[in-house]
Every structure is written in structure tokens, then in C-alpha cells.
Amino acid sequence: MIKRVFSALKKFFHYFAIGLFLYVMTLGLISDTYPVNRVLEQHLGVLTAGKRCNFVSWEASALADTAWQFIRGASADAQSAQQVRDFFDIASEIQSLRSEAERLSRQEPLPEDELAAIEAQLNSLYEQRDRMEDGAEDVLAAQITQALDDLELHSRILWWVGVWPPVTSEFVDLPLLLIVSPRDRIERRAEYYLVPNLTVAEMESIEETIHDLGYSGLVTHIGGLSTYPAMIPEVYGLGFVLGAMPHEWVHDFMAFYPLGWNYGTSGELTTMNETVADIVGDEVGQWLAQQYYPEYVREPAPEPTPPSEPSEPAEPPAFDFGAYMRETRLHVDDLLAEGKVDEAEAYMEQRRQGLEEHGYFIRKLNQAYFAFHGSYATGPVSVDPIGPQLQELRSRSGSLREFLFTVAYMNSYDDLLRIVGTPTPAP
């Protein structure tokens, strides 16, 4: 046992030493992400004082846990997969009870007995979750490592060949992200990670202050964060995590390549980073589903059938969130291009209210919202051609490995254009 512990520690610190060296070198090559003018920077610094995340203390604790992860070890088999399912069943129950408690807390008079009973249930479930968390993290890391190895997404460092960086993550309450965009165009101008426990009133106060400064701001939840270990929320369920964990690993992987070094130096390169992580994360997630979690395998889209002559009046088509948001984004772009900022903001609020009629609740729809979500070029609100271009490059690539290593060495959007050609104007 002692020999196993020392062997695991030696392996971990070997990886960590190499990673730290390369990371420090990488930091010297990267300028500030989303540079802002000094006046705005000072205002945002004051506005977010006391609300910023302390990543240094979190990293110290998380890296210690990662060392134990290498010591504990885990297997990637069907029995271990059930351990993961059990953990997410507990997480789902916690989320349902939290929602119920929030609903009850808005009633008058306050149902204190019911709330106390829910609080007692939650405390018991929290204890179960905490006992199971390390095991679930370890199993998923082992399964993703196996997936990356089978898909040949390994690296060569001197004489060593393997998955780099090692897969590791922590299930946490994620920080909130403050996005700042100019009001007269949609552009990620600045971003700050904030503590996760801000109230809605605090979020809206920050956003209103940013609006008064002449910018558009949004405090939003995120789906993961590529710290090391990666921060992953379990509250969205196992189906989400199967894609989110490899997505964040791709960001850690690209930190050692030109595309990752250039994250944030331009809107195009940020979008390329996020879209590559989406494409690879999605494929790895489906590999995991096929091997271990068949209930999350996506069925292929059915072939379109030619329209037939209707014998009865056709039913109105179902609401299409993606098409609605894309239409909204395109019209906002047109209004902003004409200098109609106030009109664009009124239109976005009108469209946000329209979403509520169809059961979609977005707290705030503004320029910052589109600046954030538009970075994911496979998403419904993106209007740039980078998503289709990278998907075209993936279809031309002989393997996922060829695709990932091709884009990893890109320094600019022009590098992508040289391979896939000039973009076709978006419809």
C-alpha cells in the first residue's frame, strides 16, 4: 500500500511540475483577456469589490484533492457507472427539494413546518452527496481518460505518451460570470468571475450600474470552468456532465497550444476555442454514453420526408427556440448597425417577454447576453460562420484527433479560412 501511495505521488508531482513549468511560460505569452479602458476597469473593480472569486485558495484545496484522486484510483466499468448514476440521483433530488423550498418561501403565510421538513431532508441528502462525490468524480475521470485514449487524443511528451493533461474535475457551485459589452454593438469587452451566492437583487444592481456607465452588463450562470481541476456543476444532471467534463478538458489541453494561448485576444479566437471544445466535448460525451450510459445516447435525426397534400388544415408548427433567438439576434444586429441602441434594447425586452409566453424564462436579454452566448458558435444565438466552418473542418478530418490537433496549432481566424475557405454569408 505504501509503495502504491509513493508511486502515485511521484506520478502526480511529475505531471504537476511539468504542467506548472509550461503554464508559467504560457502566462508570459498572454496579454490581459478582453482589455478595457482604464476608467471602465476602475469602475468595474470598485463595483465587484468583495464579490470576486478567490481562485488561489480554491486551487490549493482542489489540487490536494486531485493528488488523493491519483492515489485512490478508479475503474471504468459498468459497476462503477452505477455509482455515478446513484450520485446524480441524489443531486437531482437535492435540486427538486431546493426548487420546492424556493416555491414555498414565496407563500404567505410562510409554511414553516413544511420548510423545516425540507431543510431536514436536504441536510441528510447533502451528507449522502458529500460521501459519494469523490467516487463519482474519480469514476468519470477514469471513463473520460479511457474515451480520450480510445479516440487517440493523447500527447507525446519526450518519451511518454498518454492523455495530457490528466483528466480531473471537482463538482462545485460554480462562480457567476459578469459579462460586459458595449451598448452600440455586441462584443465581449470585459468579464469577471463572481461568488456564486449573489442574490438576484445584487445581480441586477450590478447590471444597472454598468448600464449607467454606458455599457451592457449581465451576471449569468455558466456550465463549467476550465480551472485545473475543472469546475463542473452536478445540478444539471449526468447527461450534461458527460459533455461538459470533456469540454473543459479540451480547454486545459489547448492551454499548451497556440489556439489556447490566444483565447480572448480576439472575438474570433474566443469563439474558435469555445466551438472546438463544444465539438470535441460532444463527441467524447456520446462515446461515454454509448459505452457506459446508453440512456443518454442521442438518436440520429430522422431523414426529412417530402410534404404531402394535407387532408385537413395543418397544425401550427411547434415553437422553435433556436429560430426565435437567431431571428432576434439578427434584428438586433441590424438595429445597432443603424445606431438605434434604445430601440434595440426595447426590442430585446419585448422578445424576452415573448419567450415567457412559450415557457422560456430568461432573466435579462441584452447585448451582453448575446456577447456571451454568441461565443459558442454551435448555439442558437450565434450568427457568425465559425461554427459551420469548424463543423466542415471536422467532417473533412479523418479522425477527431486530426481535427483537434489541426485547430490546436492555429494562431488566427485566417488559419481556419486558409483550410475551409471564405465563409458563406449567413441567411
What pTM was estimated for this model as a whole?
A: 0.77
Residue 232's pLDDT is what?
92
* 155-157/160-162 β-pairing: antiparallel
Residue 21's pLDDT is what?
41
154-167 pLDDT, tens digit per residue, is 898 888 889 999 99
Answer positive or negative: Cα dihedral of 382, 205, 235, 318: negative
| Whether residue 56 has pLDDT greater than 90 | no
Nearest to 134 by CA among 163, 169, 167: 169
Residue 264's pLDDT is what?
83
Rounded to the nearest 5 percent, the helix, strand and coil shares of the chain are: 60, 5, 35
Q: What is the DSSP string of 237-277?
A: -HHHHHHHHHHHHHHHHHTTSHHHHTTTSSHHHHHHHHHHH
Mean pLDDT of the chain: 84
Answer positive or negative: Cα dihedral of 190, 194, 196, 198: negative
Nearest to 407 by CA among 219, 258, 193, 264: 258
